Structure 1
Amino acid sequence: MSEQTFVNDFISIGMTEYFTRKTATTFESHIVECLADIYGYDNLKSAYDSKNEGNFATLLHRYGLSRTTFDNFLRDTIKYESFKEENKKDPSVKSDLASKIESHIITMFLYKCLLIEPSLEEISHFENDLLNNFAMIKHHFNTSLNPNKTRETWEKKKKMLEDSVELIEIKPKYLDAFTYAKYGTSLEEVKKMDYRMVEELNNYIESKEAETPIVAPKRMPNKKGSRLLRDTAISSGNGYVDALLIAGIIATEMSIGLIYLFLHF
């Protein structure tokens, strides 16, 4: 282990890739991303930047994680690096170590939820990072004995979570239908968006309204020889709103793709 290693090779690799290279495309960085979801991005980065392994251990014990689970988590991450080298040499060598490490992550999340009631958004965000990272889905199918093991574990634990805590649903604040229509969308479409997307869209519209109010087209008098202007939605002239809507469509398509993937493999 080099002097630059933080905790162990697995944690060090994951921290470097996630915080320095801003990626979560390797299993190590994927696990660090999930840790950031649980313990907070800034808290985890602070422990890494200080290179204080004691701070890292204290952070992971914050919500009551047992010493045994913590030790097993670190032990399995060390084993994973050895397995990774074996798998590189011989791709037929497979193991459920990745799922075992993710099970530790699920346990950490549950410990937090028992102390701090989670919102539906927080659960959904964690679940998405844990299960819907396409690079990790591919990784599990290529290296795991049971590619669906983490998903199966999460579904069981999630049921326990729903039974033991009162989930708090975050309901977004919507603007009126007329305002959305002026920007080329509808209240019905906005209600299909994620809570965060609605907030971003509302902030964008409100900032534009504050700058220059957009006036809807007036219906021209019905004079002989003239035509009535059709009521049409006005575009903002900016691709941002359209991008939000497209993002919603893409998210839906990704979900459909995941369902297809797990039904056909």
Structure 2
Amino acid sequence: MTINCKGKLIDLSTPKVMGILNVTPDSFFDGGRYKDENSILNQVENMLNQGATFIDIGAYSSRPNADFVTENEELQRIVPIVELLVKYFPEIIISVDTFRSEVAKQTIKAGASLINDISAGFLDEKMLQTVANLSVPYIMMHMRGTPQTMQTLTDYDNLTKDVNFYFSERISKARALGIIDLILDPGFGFAKTTQQNFELLNQLELLNIADLPLLVGVSRKSMIYKTLDTTAQNALNGTTALHMIALQKGAKILRVHDVKEAKECITLYNQLHA
């Protein structure tokens, strides 16, 4: 189970860590924390040193009811960051968190290696063809609606079955266009209640369709801190607990704010299955 990131073959038979770098002012956990070059470079260096295989950069917060950001503003936020990181860390593998095809095109041109789309192509009809043209790996997430409307779209006949049906349709379309490397993200917190998030995690192995790698992003999310009656800032222990469950159920990439702890979790998981 490998993906090709600009000529580098990444073996996902052993789980990997994707470190999150939000360059938005309003992300739910670290919004506004990384505003200048030094803070960005220091954070990325820390994540790489702690064992992150990928760095995922987002310039449009996808938290519930997030503010709308224009395409031009998203480009102005994110392209210089990609260029900066490629300059200082030439071997870095950058994932760009965007649902816009033009942002995908410009950031890959600037040195990014893969695209992480919360909408799996539904919010920009040009996205799938663009990714196919770029010949880069594509992370497709399950979501309904937009970040502004998704919290009202949580009615499912059978959640896991509906998510699988969604992915089967998206995979078919992506394959028809020639996209080779696909990664599936169940979309914890996107158009799902807290109870539904736990239901999906409990049945995660049932999403292992078409032998495609699963990415899990539960880091410090409300499903954790609301259940524990705490805050995102105090949700690291709960995050680690769910990471181990995700690994046991087949997750191949953990998308996280805290790389060191996630990497330790993977080390223990690997030892358990040695």
TM range (shorter): under 0.3
Whichever structure has more strand as a proportion of its residues is 2
Q: TM-score, normalised by structure 2?
A: 0.26
Report the structure number with the largest CA radius of gyration: 1
Greater RCO (Cα-Cα under 8 Å, separation 6 or more)? 2
